Structure 1
C-alpha cells in the first residue's frame, strides 16, 4: 500500500451507505482498513465500496467472536460504525470499552441523540427534515431527490472523514482519541453556507425562482434537436457574454443578465436556439471556451471523455467501471484502485497477526466463531 494514510489502521463494522464509502476513501489513500463482517462470502467486483479493504467474518453473538473483535479494535487507530444508536453498546463494543487513543467514528442519519435518533431514514428523509429538499422544488412540481448524493455521501461520508481526520490531528497533540458523531442532518445544513447567506440578505426567493435552481437562463439545462441536453452555468458577466456569442447573440439581443423579470422570456429564447441544433454541434461550439457550457453525458460517455480519460477520473477494475482515487496525492501518483475482496477473505492472516496459531484458527472456524 502507498499513500499518506499508510500508518493508520481502521476497523470498519460492515454496513450500508456512507460508512463503507468512508472506509473506502481512507483505504484508497493507503489506510489499512479491516472490515468485520457477519458472514464470509465470495468477492463481488461490483461492490466498489469494499475495494482496498481486507475482511474477517465474526460471530459477534459469541464471546470468542467478541474477544477477537476487541483485539482488532485494540490494535486500530480508528473505528467506523454506522448502526443505530445503542447497537454497539449492546454488543459490548461501545466507546467506553475501547482504548483512550481510539478514534470512534459513528455515522448515523439523525445523530446519537434526539427525538428521532432511533428511527429509520434515508437520504431523502434527511434532506426533507433539514429543509433542503424544499429548495429543490419548482413552482409546479414537488422536489426531485438528487440521487442519494447530498445527505448520504455529502453530509454523511464527507463529514465523517473530515471529523476523523480532525481527530487524528488532535490526537497527535494530546495522545487521546474521541468519539466522532457524524450525522447527516448536521452535515447537510453545514454545506448550505452560501444559501443561508443569500437568504439572510433577502436574495433567495421561492423554490424555482433563483439563479442556482433553474430559474435563471444562464444556469440550467437545455434540450437539443436530437433529444440530448446541454448544461449552462454562465454565472459571471464575462462568461455570460461568451454564452451569448456561442448562441449567435449580442448584448443588445437580450435584456440585462440580472433582469429577473425577463428570465422566463430569455429562457424560452435560449431554449429555441439550443433546440435548433444537435448536442454535438453545441459541444463543438462551446468546448474550450469560458462559457461554462458542457454536454450532459451518459455515464458511459463520461468514462471515455478525453479530459476525464487523461486524468483517469474513471477506471475499470475487474471489469467494473468506477471512480479513480481522489483526491490526487503526489506521494501516490498513479496508484491504481485495488479490487474488492470477499467478506472473511483475510481471516487467517488477521488472526495470525493477533497471535493465533494455525490449530487455534482451525478450532475457531470449527466452532463458528470465525465464519
Structure 2
C-alpha cells in the first residue's frame, strides 16, 4: 500500500538555513572586507593615525555610514583607510587569511576575491611580492577553515585601476600567476570619465593569452559602459551590470520588451555580478524590492549574487540572500539557481566547476530541502 501526500509549496528558508547553504561569490574586494578590529590593530602596529574612530564597533559604523552616501565616488573614498594598512607582507597575509575564514564561516564554498596590486606598494613591496603574499594568505585561510570543518576554495582576481595607466602591466602579472592562485583580471574604480576602452591593450593581451577577465561596468554609468565592456573589450563577465535594466521596458500590462543590448546579454548568457546592498549605497537602486535583480531573475538572465565590499556595506552572502528572500519570497530553489549560475561562471576549468556543482552545491541544497520536508511532516510510505 502506498500513502502519499501533496508536496507543500516551497517556503522561505530560515536565517540558519541561508547561512548553512553552500554559496558562491564572484565579486568581493579584499580591501573592502577587512574586520574593523583588524584595521585598528594594523593601524596601531604601523603608526597609521588617520582612522576616524578608535574602537571596532564605531569604526565599522563609520565605514558603513560613509559608504551609504548615494555616490560611487564617495563610496570609493573609504578605501583609503583600508589600503593604508595593507602595505606589508604580514598585513596582506593576515587580511587575506581572515577574508577566507570569514567567507567560509558564512557558508561560501567557492570565491573569487579581487584586489589591485598597485595599491599596496607604498612600503616597498613589488607587484610580485603583493601577489605572493595574498596567495599565501588565501591558502592559510583555506587551511584554517578546513580545520574547523568548512570547505572553501578561493581564487584571486588581479585588478587594475581604471583611472591609472598600469592595466597592461597588471594583466601580464595576472597571466604570469595564472594557475598559481590567480584566476583572472578585472578593472575597477570610478566609471564616469574612465571608460574601459582606455585599457584595450590589456584586454587584447588577455584575449591573445586565452585568459579570463571581468570588467566593472553598468554600475554608476549606463548602457554605453556595458556595451564597451562587451563589444570593444570582450569581457567574460560584467561586474555589477545593474544598468542593463535601462534597456528593458515593462509595459503597464506587464509585457516585457528587451532592447538589443539586454537581449544580447541574456542570450549570450553573460554573467552579471549583482551586488544589491552596494547598489543601494551608491544609488544604483532605491530598495531591495525595486532592485533589478528581481526582474532579471524572472527573465532568466545569468544573474549571480555578491557582496562587493563586506566592510563598507556591513554585509555577507547570507545577508544578501536574506534581503532577497524577504523582498521577493525566494526559496532554497531560488538560492540554488543563483549559486549554480555563479559556479557556472567561475574562472576555473569546466570539470572543476562541474565537480563543485554536483559534489558540493546540489547535495548541500538537497540536504536542506530534506530538513524542510522532515520538519513539514511530509512522509512517503510504502
- Which bin holds the TM-score, normalised by the shorter protein? under 0.3
- The alignment's TM-score, normalised by the length of structure 1, stands at 0.25
Q: TM-score, normalised by structure 2?
A: 0.25
